């Protein structure tokens, strides 16, 4: 059992609360298939307009470029799993619509759902930090196969906060939460992300799920195979 004394917990999603395969084999193909039709149907909405404009700028396209050119770049970014904000924004909007239509149900490990409920019941504020947009995060947990888990969380952080591999991102999150970094624990399957969080002063736990962890993987952080093996309590 990995015991942690913390006043708040931040969780990653992919490989931590949810299977990597769900993201890559279900969510990404769904967004790829729906992208063109979604943009055409929602092109007058400000969030879509801003995402398309920002995608064009990042792609180096001139102002006023046709949607087709931007969409082609977005499809390539999906294939390459690029962590760019305009793509993540559009994916989140597409997935939200898919969840509401009943096309999608959020994949959350049973032990993760139980752990989140357990820590929330004990008074530990919970947060998400994921490369997926806040809208995508809310939808995944709100329409999960384990029930509506979104209400368990006190806040959400995505790529607009910064790279998950940079110390400054975790320092910014700590300031926004209003706690000293040492009072926060970050749970993730990524060694690089955990290294950045620890450099910012946070406590860290690497989640080494059998299904999602490369063979022979090692870690310099406290670790657990599931949320059942993690005990978080206030200091």
Is the same domain home to 126 and 204? yes
Domains held by the chain: number: 2
Is the same domain home to 119 and 10? yes
**Closest by CA position to 171, among listed 195, 205, 192, 202:** 202
Residue with tokens 């793509």: 87
Each residue's pLDDT tens digit, 13-45: 999 999 999 999 999 999 999 999 999 999 999
Phi-psi region of 15 (alpha: psi -120 to 50; beta: other; left: phi over 0): left
Cα gap 91→166, rounded to integer Å: 23
pLDDT of residue 216: 85
DSSP code at position 182: G
Domain end among 101, 126, 157: 101
**Closest by CA position to 140, among listed 93, 102, 113, 106:** 106
pLDDT of residue 218: 92
Q: What is the mean pLDDT of residues 50-79?
A: 96
Rounded to whole angstroms, the maximal C-alpha distance in the chain is: 56
Residue 150 sits at the vertex; the CA angle it makes with 1 and 121, to the nearest 5 degrees, is: 45
Assign residue 120 the CATH number of its domain: 3.40.50.1000
């Amino acid at each position: 059992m990995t015991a942690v004394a913390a006043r708040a917990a931040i969780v990653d999603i992919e490989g931590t609360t949810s299977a990597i395969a769900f993201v890559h084999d279900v969510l990404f193909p769904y967004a790829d298939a729906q992208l063109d039709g979604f943009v055409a149907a929602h092109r007058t909405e400000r969030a879509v307009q801003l995402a398309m404009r920002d995608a064009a700028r990042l792609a180096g396209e001139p102002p006023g470029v046709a949607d087709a050119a931007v969409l082609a770049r977005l499809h390539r970014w999906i294939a390459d799993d690029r962590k760019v904000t305009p793509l993540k924004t559009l994916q989140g909007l597409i997935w939200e619509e898919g969840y509401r239509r009943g096309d999608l149900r959020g994949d959350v490990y049973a032990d993760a759902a139980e752990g989140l409920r357990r820590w929330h019941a004990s008074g530990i504020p919970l947060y998400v930090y994921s490369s997926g947009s806040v809208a995508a995060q809310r939808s995944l947990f709100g329409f999960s196969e384990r029930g509506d888990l979104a209400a368990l969380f006190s806040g959400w952080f995505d790529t607009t906060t910064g790279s998950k591999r940079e110390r400054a991102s975790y320092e910014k999150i700590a300031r926004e939460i209003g706690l000293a970094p040492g009072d926060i624990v970050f749970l993730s399957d990524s060694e690089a992300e955990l290294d950045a969080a620890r450099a910012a002063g946070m406590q860290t736990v690497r989640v080494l799920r059998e299904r999602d962890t490369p063979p022979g993987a090692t870690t310099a952080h406290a670790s657990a195979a599931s949320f059942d093996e993690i005990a978080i309590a206030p200091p």
